[in-house]
Amino acid sequence: MTGGLYFAGTVYWTSGVMARFGGIAFPLAVAIAGLLVAYLALFPALFAVVLRKLVVGGGLPWVWLSPAVWVASEYGRLAIFGGFPWVLLGYSQVPVLPVAQMASLTGVFGISALLTASATAVAWLALSRSPRRWVAPAVVAAVVVAIAIWGSQRVGRGVLTSGGTPVRVGIVQGNVEQDVKWDPDRAHDIFSRHMRLTERMADEGARLVLWPESSTPFYFGHGAESEVLRMLARRRDIELLIGSDLYEPGTPPRTYNAAFLIKADGTTGGIYRKVHLVPFGEYVPFGGLLFFAKPLVEAVSDFAPGTEVNTLAARAGTLSTAICYEVVYPALIREGVDNGSTLLTTITNDAWFGRSSAPWQHFQMSAMRAVEQGRYLVRAANTGISGMVDPYGRVGLASDLFVEGAWAVDVRLLSERTFYGRTGDWVVWASLMLTGLTLGLTSAKARRREVRKDT
């Protein structure tokens, strides 16, 4: 029930997306969204089942395993069937900058563990009858205070915002309604709008300009418009990172959701093909079983996944990009930094979400990646929220929704690595090992009790 209420209140917008843009009848769209909510709710339920087994087998003190069990269940939501790691518990602390700095050590899962430990302390006080029941909650409170003090000092020192190579980046938000995005009668207007906003960014000194996901109403590399873009880069001496579909002929032919780096000499400096596709948005998992959801993908495109998280060598430095939903996968962003990225970028089209809470959720999850990796993050979104986040999670720019605009932001290209960036999801692996080990011990103890009873 708890998980159902949580996910019904956070991913409710999926039904509207399927009904409006997928051509699916609203009752069926609600039913499909209900299945998603029910599936996601299984993970908090699994947490409760496992924790109960541990407490019954080991006694009330084993409730302090809650942080490990919770993180293990959250990671399951990321890893199983391609994952849907939307609104993990740790994301709630993105606006709380002192606590959010913990992500530079542990990633978002470490913050989830901290919050679970805090909740466990409250439960312990309510359930324990030990005369020393205040000790463990006091330790948890001391840890939270210590993290907050350290985080405040980390933000205050601002070492990362004074190092690296400065560069001005332009962000283009075309504000193209999803209903007309692929209307051939509107293609010229859409392209001209992005070109005009790019010229404005060049006038304001931007050396790299970002366009949103699938912003070109054509396949880049095909048609006269591609050459116009290359000429713009040469004429204004700027580089462009644009989102566009990529068609590759073959047997079978493939279409990718892609990002292209156009260098200042007009050549293509690199292509990133989206690796992690959106289930029910860019492909249908278990397509034979869930055939009724196929119209949603057909309304967009049935994309093929890319095979690697490659970086793009811009003039100022090496950058990586995440296309839309990919930014909610910490390991994908870390892989880009492992490959030398000095600037995080993400391009997206959140027009699907309308005026729901989803664009704000998406932006907040993007901000967490900046803290985890100690990098500036620049975001170009078709209808918003476009923006910039510094390496401490401070929002330097967040555009309004459904407005046309362009903004120049000053960032720094950084090469230092955070502890989390170097070590990865060690909190996850420790949680999985601890949960598995204690479950094994509990099961072994229960078997021994049964054997004693029989004898």
Task: For residue 274, indicate whether it is catalytic.
Answer: yes
**Marked catalytic residue, from 225, 239, 324, 326:** 324
**How far is residue 70's CA from residue 114's CA, in Å, rounded to a whole number?**
10
For residue 256, the 8-state DSSP code is E
For residue 248, the 8-state DSSP code is E
Pairing of strands 208-210, 165-173: parallel
90: which 2 tokens? Answer: 């740790």
Task: For residue 181, indicate whether it is catalytic.
Answer: no
332: which 2 tokens? Answer: 């994908």
Distances (CA, A) of 91 to 110, 326, 369: 11, 16, 10
Q: Please, is 271 exposed, middle or buried when counting C-beta atoms within 10 Å of its C-beta (0-12, 13-18, 19+)?
A: middle
Lookup result for tokens 């054509």: 218
**How far is residue 419's CA from residue 143's CA, in Å, rounded to a whole number?**
19
**Marked catalytic residue, from 74, 213, 239, 326:** 213
Ordered DSSP codes for 381-436: ESSS--EEE-TTS-EEEEPPTT--EEEEEEEEE-----HHHHH-SHHHHHHHHHHH
**How far is residue 109's CA from residue 74's CA, in Å, rounded to a whole number?**
8
By C-alpha distance, which of 265, 250, 343 is closest to 304?
Answer: 250
Ordered DSSP codes for 130-165: -TTTTHHHHHHHHHHHHHHHHHHHHHHH-GGGTSSE
Distances (CA, A) of 205 to 173, 189, 215: 17, 25, 22
By C-alpha distance, which of 248, 239, 318, 308 is closest to 274?
Answer: 308
**How far is residue 445's CA from residue 336's CA, in Å, rounded to a whole number?**
45
**Marked catalytic residue, from 74, 274, 282, 326:** 274
**How far is residue 133's CA from residue 135's CA, in Å, rounded to a whole number?**
6
Is the distance from CB of 348 to CB of 328 less than 8 angstroms? Answer: no
Task: For residue 308, indicate whether it is catalytic.
Answer: no
Q: For residue 288, what are the contacts with CB-CB under 8 A and spacing of at least 6?
A: none
* Catalytic residue annotation: 213, 274, 324
